[in-house]
Structure 1
Amino acid sequence: MDKSEVLETLKAANLYLNHLNCLEGELENALEQIDTTFRNTEKNISETFSNLKDELMYILKKREKFLLDKAKKTESESLAPLQECRCIILNKIESTNKLIKIGNSIIDGVNESVDTFVTNASKLGSLPEVPDLKEVPYLSFHYEQSSEVEVKDILSQFGYVCRIAPIQVTDLSEKPGALLIEWRNVEIEERMTDIQEFRLQRAFGDVVKDKHLVANFKDCYKGLDTQFLVKDLLARQPYSFRVCCKFEGTSEWSPWSLPQVSSTSLKHFSWKPNEDYIISNENRIAAPKKSVSKILISDGAQFSVGHSVEFTFLEVDSSEALVGLIWDNLQNDMEISNLMAEGCFVVNSNGKIYVDGSEKSTVLPNFTKGLKVCFTCDLVNNQKVRVNIDSNEKRVTYDWPVNPDSKMLFVAHFCSNKWKIMVE
């Protein structure tokens, strides 16, 4: 082995060592994740069950006292009239015994008052009313054994340890001023049909490095789609995402997925400054200053395959207007007549669609205030792309012979100064 071979071997060995060090770092992160999540789970289980036991004991003692107090009150209220009746009976027994004693004395010749005997004798025959046993309370304690079984069953199955959350973020794709977040079920695929709702949250910053940022997670989507375009993001700023789900028949959300951190290097869609327009909101909103104005174009070729651009009409007029896409190489020769030529894909305010200057038979809804018109571009092959136009819940699709590697601009034009448009 000569010196050059030794050098090549050393180079390969150093490269191999770097790979091993990277793998060791990844393994260390995996070990730390298991250890950290176990300790957090152990603490959570202990605290949850401790709090639950205290709460259950409080509830049981409270219920026990309530039932004992109610039984005691029932006893007290039931005994009062019976004790009163008993006093009457005892008094009558005492007076009757005295009458009998006096009568016996009179018979035996003892000097007793006959008038007193006669007066007391007249009270005989008046008996107090004593209720039957079936008319007085018969206290007892009862409970539904099925409820007891149900409570025990619930407690015996309370909580579970989840090896990993059932839903995980699987892909984060860069878009202009946005990220397309995708997720899927990573455990039991057939349970996907049982999912009632997904929930996606976003946090500003990297929660993996800065754990305290977890408190900043906010909802950004709820629904049944397995992807969502998160808009209005700052370029090159890290954002964290997590997702969970709710299964049919449950009211609780599943555990959160592992947080995924990403950023977009593409700035948000914006209009190029134009002297004929008032441009605001970080160059996303434009309004013509005069009726005869130049064509409004994007600030560079921002649109390409895999992107979607949405135009929102904030103010409208009865005059003509149009929005659409053009090839990048047309931006230096932008006249209104050129928007009906090859390399242009536009829709006018009457909903008419023009592709490379050819009017299509399908018509979209007229432009109205608040209407959103969305262009989406997908790859067909290396010679054409597929453009979808969505407007007021109506979609049309055309294949456009454009090099998929080409960049495109989005454009707008208005024939009065009463229009206002927003792009995102």
Structure 2
Amino acid sequence: MSIEAEVLLQEAKESIEAAQNYRSELQQRLHGLNQAHNQVRGSASETREVLRRHFEELQVQVTQLLSDRLGALLQEVDAAERDSLRPLDDCQMLIEQGVSAAEELMREGEAAMRCSIGEKDDKLGSFTKKALQIQLDSLPEVPALTDVPCLSAQLDDSLLPALRERIVRHGSVASCPPVQIEELVERPGGVLVRWSKVDDDFTAQDYRLQYCRSAGCQYEDAYIGKDSEFLVLHLDPHTDYLFRVSARGEGRTEWSPWSVPQIGYTALPPHEWRPGCEGYILSSRRNIALRSDTTLSNTGVLYSSSPTYFCGQTLSFKITAAGKTDKRDSLGVCLECKSGVESLQRDRAVCISTKGAVFVNGKEMTNQLPAITVGSTVTFDMEVVSLFPVTNNNINDMGNFKLRVTIGSGNREVVFDWLLERGVDCLFFGCSFVHPGWKVLVF
């Protein structure tokens, strides 16, 4: 085969490979386009169903409310009618009794007048005496019509216009939710969820984050508040979770539509304290340690169960209960677990004491952080800044490996370089408290 033919063959192979790559890229874009179509159609169908169900429920509830109100008003009419007729019925009964007595007296008088002369005097005398007893000049008082209740209904004609105004403005259809999830960052035993507003005209008062294990499962609340990020803990590693977020507008009670669900997961095992350390009680998930009062002697350092802190992550300690402070107290990270030491204020470790002092390889820094109290959160962030090659000139030097360390507490932080003799890719964390009562959550 000539050189020209080989060149043409190579160009043909490259063209075929380029066409394959092009086709693959187009197929991926077509798949993404299909997902977009499905999202539009699926969300439209779901929105129609939500609207129908909502308005059907409103119709039933409004009809029931109107029926209940009508029934209550009719009961009021019945009660008013009954109370108003009672004195009239009593008066009517008294008058009817008087009419009956008068008719009977008239019959007795006429009979007395018709009797014989020998009996007439006695009959007329008895009649006259009875007539005086009846008090024929005493008549019951009949109320005037103006004094008698005249029932009527007062109906507010403004109800229907007010309802019409509210109904025509009730509900809305949004093409996009006002907030969307913008980032899912895996953390040990959890996922850090960050979201942001995508509607500039929407003023958010609160956010609501929910998650569920997989599609079709029931969502549960993870966070409600004003922050735009939240760390969801206690997640199973290597398991997909769905996350969604909504917002409540300023001065409103209802929540906005949910954001497009995003899938997140973590491959990092959760941070756990090492069980079996005397003087410390651990929670069921081993992420909370309580310095107990089972012994008054110093128990040494409580370490993590394994070196689960990696550079580039944020390690956080949250103090949920506090005891008496001591200058030997410590919270921090170290290269290895050393038994027989009372604090992380030693070599190959960096830490902060409960009084706010920062120690690097056992030496106290001049910069200090605020004292640690209930509610304090202490964070450690580390990144590799340089790795020096070992030479004959620096083989005995301490600084062959450098980590940039940032320790934050309250609204302050200190930044320094931690020089080590060798490179590390993961670190242990630990704590030590001399006095009981301290309770710390690690995440």
Q: Counterpart in 2 of 1:374?
A: 378
- Distance of aligned partners of 1:381 and 1:151 in 2 relative to their CA distance in 1, 3 Å threshold: farther
**Share of identical aligned residues, percent?**
24
- Cα distance, 1:226 vs structure 2: 0.2
- Cα distance, 1:53 vs structure 2: 1.7
CA contact (8 A) 1:306 1:378 kept: yes
Q: Counterpart in 2 of 1:109?
A: none
SS at match of 2:192: strand
- Distance of aligned partners of 1:138 and 1:14 in 2 relative to their CA distance in 1, 3 Å threshold: same
- Cα distance, 1:228 vs structure 2: 0.7
SS at match of 1:43: helix
CA contact (8 A) 1:325 1:408 kept: no
- Distance of aligned partners of 1:10 and 1:121 in 2 relative to their CA distance in 1, 3 Å threshold: same
Q: Counterpart in 2 of 1:196?
A: 205
Distance in 2 (CA, whole Å) between partners of 1:12 and 1:325 is: 51
Q: Counterpart in 1 of 2:198?
A: 186
Q: Counterpart in 2 of 1:345?
A: 350
Q: Counterpart in 1 of 2:224?
A: 222
The answer as to 2:54 corresponding to 1:56 is: no
Q: Counterpart in 2 of 1:257?
A: 259
Q: Deviations 1:225-268 (Å, cap 9, x if unpaired)?
A: 00011223232221111111222322222222221111122222
Q: Counterpart in 1 of 2:141?
A: 129
The structure 1 residue matched to 2:427, chosen from 376, 393, 409, is 409
Q: Deviations 1:113-165 (Å, cap 9, x if unpaired)?
A: 86688568754422211112232111110133444543443333333323232
- Cα distance, 1:54 vs structure 2: 2.3
Distance in 1 (CA, whole Å) between partners of 2:83 and 2:299 is: 94
Write out aligned runs for 1:184-333 (5 A). 184-187=196-199, 189-192=200-203, 195-204=204-213, 206-207=214-215, 212-213=216-217, 215=218, 217-270=219-272, 296=303, 299-300=306-307, 302-310=309-317, 320-325=328-333, 331=336
CA contact (8 A) 1:197 1:245 kept: yes
- Cα distance, 1:224 vs structure 2: 0.4
- Distance of aligned partners of 1:311 and 1:120 in 2 relative to their CA distance in 1, 3 Å threshold: closer
Distance in 2 (CA, whole Å) between partners of 1:234 and 1:309 is: 19
Q: Counterpart in 1 of 2:175?
A: 163
Range with bigger deviation, 294-303 or 35-44: 294-303
- Unpaired stretches in structure 1, ≥5 consecutive residues: 107-111
SS at match of 1:401: strand
Distance in 2 (CA, whole Å) between partners of 1:126 and 1:251 is: 70
Distance in 2 (CA, whole Å) between partners of 1:301 and 1:120 is: 116
Distance in 2 (CA, whole Å) between partners of 1:141 and 1:254 is: 42
- Cα distance, 1:58 vs structure 2: 2.4
**TM-score normalised to structure 1 length:** 0.75
Q: Deviations 1:63-82 (Å, cap 9, x if unpaired)?
A: 22332233133223323432
Q: Counterpart in 1 of 2:88?
A: 82
Q: Which amino acid in structure 2 is aligned with residue 409 of structure 1?
A: L
Distance in 2 (CA, whole Å) between partners of 1:16 and 1:159 is: 45
SS at match of 2:270: coil
CA contact (8 A) 1:201 1:218 kept: yes
Distance in 1 (CA, whole Å) between partners of 2:431 and 2:143 is: 98
Distance in 2 (CA, whole Å) between partners of 1:295 and 1:17 is: 57
Kindly report the root-mean-square deviation, in angstroms, between the aligned alpha carbons of the 2 structures.
4.6
CA contact (8 A) 1:297 1:409 kept: no
- Distance of aligned partners of 1:168 and 1:338 in 2 relative to their CA distance in 1, 3 Å threshold: closer
- Cα distance, 1:220 vs structure 2: 1.5
CA contact (8 A) 1:99 1:120 kept: no
SS at match of 1:191: coil
CA contact (8 A) 1:321 1:412 kept: no
Range with bigger deviation, 217-226 or 68-77: 68-77
SS at match of 2:427: strand
The answer as to 2:78 corresponding to 1:72 is: yes
CA contact (8 A) 1:384 1:399 kept: no
The answer as to 2:415 corresponding to 1:399 is: yes
- Cα distance, 1:298 vs structure 2: 7.2
Q: Deviations 1:199-229 (Å, cap 9, x if unpaired)?
A: 111212x32xxxx22x1x2212111000011
The answer as to 2:45 corresponding to 1:39 is: yes
SS at match of 1:2: helix
SS at match of 1:253: coil
Range with bigger deviation, 47-56 or 406-415: 406-415
- Distance of aligned partners of 1:186 and 1:325 in 2 relative to their CA distance in 1, 3 Å threshold: same
Distance in 1 (CA, whole Å) between partners of 2:302 and 2:98 is: 115
Distance in 2 (CA, whole Å) between partners of 1:81 and 1:338 is: 94
- Distance of aligned partners of 1:297 and 1:257 in 2 relative to their CA distance in 1, 3 Å threshold: closer
The structure 1 residue matched to 2:19, chosen from 10, 13, 17, is 13
- Unpaired stretches in structure 2, ≥5 consecutive residues: 1-6, 114-119, 387-401
- Distance of aligned partners of 1:140 and 1:414 in 2 relative to their CA distance in 1, 3 Å threshold: closer
- Distance of aligned partners of 1:277 and 1:99 in 2 relative to their CA distance in 1, 3 Å threshold: closer
Distance in 1 (CA, whole Å) between partners of 2:433 and 2:131 is: 122
**TM-score normalised to structure 2 length:** 0.72
SS at match of 1:49: helix
- Cα distance, 1:304 vs structure 2: 1.9
Q: Which amino acid in structure 1 is aligned with residue 332 of structure 2?
A: G
